[in-house]
Structure 1
Amino acid sequence: MQLSVLDLVPVRTDQTSADALAATVELAQAADRLGYTRYWLAEHHNMPAVAATSPPVLIAYLAGQTERIRLGSGGVMLPNHAPLAVAEQFALLEAAAPGRIDLGIGRAPGSDPVTSIALRGGAGRDDSDIENFPRYLDEVAAMMSASGVRLQLPARLGRSDYLLKATPAAVGEPGLWLLGSSMYSAHLAAAKGLPYVFAHHFSGIGTAAALATYRREFQPSPRQSEPRTLLTVNASVAPTRAEAEAALLPNLQLMVTLRSGRPLHPLALIEDATGWAPSPPEAAMIAAMRDTAVVGAPDEAAKQLRALADEFGVDEVMIHPVGSAHRGADPATSPARVATLELLAGELLG
């Protein structure tokens, strides 16, 4: 089975941002050593429990500290950025680490509405700009290519077109993926002939329908001759199921807070979450999230992963390791997340 890793650079109550980044380096190096295929960084803004605000910065940071694993964005939220800026960043990354860079693109804001205004306001963009997402996607892809893209210009500028390249002499291009958790992304990925990532870790709703639509409607392109699918899933794996459940609980608590619209907080330590008594609605949310996650001892977790891949027929599964840490752990480490990768690799990657 082809396995990869998604990292949001979580921030626990015992960590600073610097600690969280050090733990991410440790996790990326473990994934590199264990034979995982790719390691992607998310884009989220103004969230107390997430330090992954800038995928290209994190990718550059990790490129020099890993050896062979592909590094990418999971994903860049394109409505937040000018297409040229994204194309330039990832063209440079590809030049610096050839054959190791993926650009995963999504259209969600990755933040609350106020933060979105602050993020996009300087460029004068707002949510109505999302309708231009397919065109921006095409522009990013074209600008990263060796031939670049010719822009059609207003007559008042005195010329009809203008050649724009993300980098002067591209030799290769990053792998381009479309991310989503809805039918919109399935239709668009199929129409553009792009590989498709479904964010099963986020809700687990509509996964089968979206993947089936993508495969049915897929149009071959120069980038991809046939459908290619990747599925993300939350995972907590430990020597025993009880330990895996305990490590997962702080993340479930955080997700309940998020989905309830309450103020967010850093990820709790395991001991601080164990006394939590969820209300009946919260317990129902927890049960639904646990049902879509991979949780347990190594052998049962591996069986869950194989069953998930078979159920949805995906080419690759991307693990989002969500375990917290015990009180007294080194803040610059993430023992439960590293253990998840190590124990799964022992079962599935040889």
Structure 2
Amino acid sequence: MALTLSLLDLVPLRTGQTSAQAVAASMQLVRRADELGVHRYWFAEHHNMPAIASSSPPVLIAAAASRTERVRLGSGGVMLPNHSPLIVAEQFSTLAALAPGRIDLGIGRAPGSDQVITQLLRQSGATSDVDRFPDNIKDIIALSHPDGANLRFASGGEYTVRATPVATSTPEVWLLGSSDYSARLAAQLGLPYVFANHFAGDHLDHAMSLYRTQYRPSAEHPEPKSFLTANAVVAPTHEEAFERALPHLRMMARMRSNKPLRAAETVDEVRANPSDEAERRIIDHQARNWFIGEPDDVAKRLRAFAAEHGVDEIMISAAAGQFESEPLDESTGRIQTVELLTAALRR
């Protein structure tokens, strides 16, 4: 089975690394992904998280666009309750002008952080009402269209609003989620849909079934269009792959245990401080939903996973940790994952 490979980047931050170094490492990765023929490269939106430096997808997409030529770039996703629909439409329409035909706008309904950060974002005034999420999606699509959106006043008259004055390229809008709600809404609006399997795989079958059975064709998308996300770590040996996966697995275990978050550990730190029994149980449970191992084995398992769920594209979060000896401004483990996996998928 031919399988299209895409990448999701949270811009991970490891011990001793600055945000500047983490961003530099991600820019190195997106350049390499472009050279290797990766289809899409999306940046996530998370706020005030010690191990994640991806808080502003539009800025990172613009930086990536200046360093690449072919790969589609997008958000995985913009957390819409944090932003005004007009601002989102303007940002991504501008990105579409910078990189015509290469911009995706993935939109999510979650805040991407905790309640304190949500309140701080709302103080800026440039946010949207989560209860109007479906209408805000429609507004963004209309505002991004070359014809713009027409506002009708109660007193009479209209006012046309466009995200950019003369648009020749518009972003492709995708709805992201891990619940029935997002699957139903994507089907209702005739939009492409991505199930966030990399952190919430329990409802995958149900959500995909809802999306496909309830899908209403739209002019842009007469057929359902979807792909899945997954965590993947690939190395020359299974032992190295699992070692590189442990820092991220342990960080996720800390989150699920409500322990204080910190920058991702290096592989060396994990070796020096083994997990206790409770943490190991969480790690083992999470690892079952990951794709960890040697190139051909992971490629085979990803193909089977895609075929099982009726998709021909998988977006991986290359969750490979770093050794202390590896440069702070490079993504050695993540680049190795992508290089080995793209080669294996071509065989």
TM bin, normalised by shorter chain, reads over 0.9
Query: Would you say the 8 A contact 1:228–1:315 is kept in 2?
Result: no
Show the counterpart of 1:182: 179
Structure 1 CA distance for aligned equivalents of residues 172 and 188 of structure 2: 17
Structure 2 CA distance for aligned equivalents of residues 124 and 42 of structure 1: 19
Query: Would you say the 8 A contact 1:187–1:217 is kept in 2?
Result: yes
Q: 1:96 aligns with which of 98, 105, 117?
A: 98
Matched, 1:27 2:29: yes
Show the counterpart of 1:72: 74
Structure 1 CA distance for aligned equivalents of residues 277 and 329 of structure 2: 36
Structure 2 CA distance for aligned equivalents of residues 183 and 169 of structure 1: 37
User: Pairwise mapping of residues 147-226 of structure 1 onto structure 2 (< 5 A)?
Assistant: 147-155=147-155, 159-226=156-223
- How much has 1:281 moved relative to structure 2? 3.6
Query: Would you say the 8 A contact 2:83–2:127 is kept in 1?
Result: no
Q: Deviations over 1:87-117 (max 9, x none)?
A: 0000011011100100000011001110111
Gaps of 5+ in 2: none
- How much has 1:289 moved relative to structure 2? 1.2
Show the counterpart of 2:137: 137
Query: Would you say the 8 A contact 1:203–1:289 is kept in 2?
Result: no
Show the counterpart of 1:121: 123
User: Pairwise mapping of residues 236-275 of structure 1 onto structure 2 (< 5 A)?
Assistant: 236-275=233-272
User: Pairwise mapping of residues 196-345 of structure 1 onto structure 2 (< 5 A)?
Assistant: 196-345=193-342
Structure 2 CA distance for aligned equivalents of residues 86 and 153 of structure 1: 23
- How much has 1:329 moved relative to structure 2? 0.9
Q: In the alignment, residue 274 of structure 1 is paired with which amino acid?
A: R
The list of structure 1 runs, each at least 4 consecutive aligned residues, that deviate by more than 4 angstroms after superposition, is none
Structure 2 CA distance for aligned equivalents of residues 199 and 295 of structure 1: 18
- How much has 1:276 moved relative to structure 2? 3.9
Please provide the CA RMSD for this pair: 1.3
Structure 2 CA distance for aligned equivalents of residues 323 and 180 of structure 1: 24
Structure 2 CA distance for aligned equivalents of residues 230 and 116 of structure 1: 29
- How much has 1:125 moved relative to structure 2? 5.4
Q: In the alignment, residue 66 of structure 2 is paired with which amino acid?
A: G
- How much has 1:161 moved relative to structure 2? 2.8
Q: 2:85 aligns with which of 83, 92, 99?
A: 83
SS for the counterpart of 1:103 is strand
SS for the counterpart of 2:111 is coil
SS for the counterpart of 1:123 is coil
Q: Deviations over 1:107-155 (max 9, x none)?
A: 11001110111012221858xx211100000000100000111123343
Structure 1 CA distance for aligned equivalents of residues 9 and 151 of structure 2: 36
Structure 2 CA distance for aligned equivalents of residues 280 and 332 of structure 1: 34
Structure 1 CA distance for aligned equivalents of residues 189 and 30 of structure 2: 31
SS for the counterpart of 2:124 is helix
Report which stretch shifted further, 247-256 or 268-277.
268-277
SS for the counterpart of 1:274 is helix
Query: Would you say the 8 A contact 1:249–1:274 is kept in 2?
Result: no
- How much has 1:315 moved relative to structure 2? 2.9
Q: Deviations over 1:165-210 (max 9, x none)?
A: 0000011211110000111000000000001000000121111110
Q: In the alignment, residue 27 of structure 1 is paired with which amino acid?
A: L
Show the counterpart of 1:50: 52
Structure 2 CA distance for aligned equivalents of residues 334 and 11 of structure 1: 11
Structure 2 CA distance for aligned equivalents of residues 280 and 82 of structure 1: 45
Structure 2 CA distance for aligned equivalents of residues 228 and 346 of structure 1: 26
TM-score by length of 2: 0.97
SS for the counterpart of 1:19 is helix
Residues matched between the structures, number:
345
Show the counterpart of 1:38: 40
Structure 2 CA distance for aligned equivalents of residues 305 and 60 of structure 1: 30
Gaps of 5+ in 1: none
- How much has 1:222 moved relative to structure 2? 1.6
Q: In the alignment, residue 55 of structure 1 is paired with which amino acid?
A: P
Structure 2 CA distance for aligned equivalents of residues 34 and 315 of structure 1: 18
